[in-house]
Amino acid sequence: MPETLPSPLTVIREDERPVVDFVGGATYRTLIGDDNGAGIPIRTGIQTSEPGYATREHSHPYVEVLTVLEGKGEAWLDGEVGTVAMEPGVTISIPAGRVHGFRVLGTEQLVTYGIHTFGKRIVKYKDAPAG
């Protein structure tokens, strides 16, 4: 038996976490974040994007991983030809520093589970917001 006990489990209940509105028709529910993730070196959340929604092109100075839970969409890396289909069962890993985006396809919500491989969310947008 170890001499020191390991840290206890951190338990997060999705329905107890606040939902934040994103401009353009999406919501984000941080699961592990700034307020409850002290000492946890990742940030996670669930984004629900309405039909017609598209992210602003942006980058992070760390890897971002997205897993599609529901719906359909497409993702891309700035400067590369083509897109990647996003549908349930697909996980994409976006390299650190790469400008990227995704959009919803079809008439259903796109729900993604995201992991930022850093404890704080850092976003650098490619362009200024419209309007």
Residue 9 lies in a domain: no
> 72-97 burial by CB neighbour count: b if 16+ within 10 A, else e?
bbbbbbeeeeeeeebeeeeebebeee
Provide the CATH number for the domain around residue 69: 2.60.120.10
Residue 6 lies in a domain: no
Residue 90 lies in a domain: yes
Instruction: Give the count of domains, the chain.
Output: 1
Residue 83 lies in a domain: yes
Domain interval for residue 121 = 14-125
Residue 80 lies in a domain: yes
How confident is the model over 104-112, as a mean pLDDT? 98
pLDDT at 34: 84
Instruction: Give pLDDT tens digits for 14-58.
Output: 999 999 999 999 999 999 998 888 888 999 999 999 999 999 999
- Contact between 71 and 65 under an 8 Å Cβ cutoff? The reply is no
Residue 40 lies in a domain: yes
